[in-house]
Amino acid sequence: MSKINKISVLIPCYNEENTISQVIIKVERSLLNLNIDFEIIVIDDCSSDDSLNKLLDLKNQNKIKLITHNQNLGKGAAIATGFKHLTGQIILIQDADLEYDPDDYKKLLLPFNEASADVVYGSRFLGGGKYVRIHFFWHYVANKILTLLCNMIANLNLTDMETGYKLFRYEKIKNIVIKEKSFGFEPEITIKLAKKNSKFFEVPISYNGRSYKEGKKIGLKDAFIAVYCIFKYAIKN
């Protein structure tokens, strides 16, 4: 098993002025505690609030690499842009909204170090995280349905396909072209990695989900897009 020498954290950001600075602080602190080389790459997806100004301040402090979009393209497009600029062996996707806790990085990386993992997903439903905020019953139901459909197509047994914490070994994703610009990225990358016979692992994580009043963005439309993408990538690459 090869030792991890560098990790790239990709943070897609759109209108997260209230959380982005705190997220970067927490991410940096967690990575420093791992005693590993790292880079933090933030892709601002044409935010219309003060997110970009906060990110420029962080860039000037040499905290992050900053990439900007001239128009709002979506989470999948932001991650695809980030893939073009990373240099780490392991890629970790971190949302900019504080729903996911960077203190979980150590256990998320464990399967790469101890079990030659290709892909690791952080699961909100395995149990064993420090905490999980309870709300949005229908989001839970939709997640379970989407995960079941994706498992059927990809021949996996994931508990949380829609998780924000996704980690990949660079060798497995370097030739994958991300086509979905929005939240359809989640099933797309899962199915494409499964088709490459990747070794998947799940790790229990903490989760502090937001309400719509607090800024949550994903909605019913995204669930229908995800269903479409599951069947779309079942028959094409």
Q: Which helix (H) or strand (E) holds 108?
A: helix 105-115
CB neighbour burial string for 181-216, b if at least 16 within 10 angstroms, e if fewer: bbbbbbbbbbbbbbeeebebbbbbbbbebbeeeeee
The mean per-residue pLDDT over the stretch 156-164 comes to 96
Q: Phi and psi at residue 182, in whole multiples of 5°?
A: -110, -140
Say if CB 102 and CB 26 are below 8 A apart. yes
Say if CB 6 and CB 37 are below 8 A apart. yes
Can you give the residue range of the structural domain that contains 79? 6-235
Taking only the tens place, the pLDDT of each residue in 77-128 is 999 999 999 999 999 999 999 999 999 999 999 999 999 999 999 999 998 7
Enter the pTM of the model: 0.92
Sheet strand arrangement including 166-169: 65-68, 37-44, 6-13, 90-93, 166-169, 119-123, 200-204
- CATH number of domain containing 68: 3.90.550.10
Residue 76 has pLDDT above 90, yes or no: yes
Do the domain assignments include residue 94?
yes
Do the domain assignments include residue 149?
yes
Instruction: Supply the pLDDT for residue 128.
Output: 76
Residue 212 has pLDDT above 90, yes or no: no
Say if CB 166 and CB 206 are below 8 A apart. no
Residue 1 has pLDDT above 60, yes or no: no
Do the domain assignments include residue 159?
yes
Taking only the tens place, the pLDDT of each residue in 59-69 is 999 889 999 99
Do the domain assignments include residue 41?
yes
Residue 215 has pLDDT above 60, yes or no: no
Do the domain assignments include residue 10?
yes
Mean of the per-residue pLDDT values for the chain? 92
Question: Which sign, positive or negative, has the C-alpha torsion 130, 134, 138, 141?
Answer: positive
**Of 49, 50, 84, 92, whose CA–CA distance to 67 is shortest?**
84
Percent of the chain beyond pLDDT 90?
79
Residue 38 has pLDDT above 90, yes or no: yes
Q: Exposed (0-12), middle (13-18) or buried (19+): which is 64, by Cβ within 10 Å? A: buried
- Total domains in the fold of the chain: 1
Do the domain assignments include residue 70?
yes
Residue 213 has pLDDT above 70, yes or no: no
Do the domain assignments include residue 195?
yes
Instruction: Supply the pLDDT for residue 77.
Output: 97
State how far the Cα of 128 lies from the Cα of 135, in Å rounded to an integer.
18
Do the domain assignments include residue 1?
no
Taking only the tens place, the pLDDT of each residue in 162-203 is 999 999 999 999 999 999 999 899 999 999 999 999 999 999
Instruction: Supply the pLDDT for residue 137.
Output: 82
Percent of the chain beyond pLDDT 70?
92
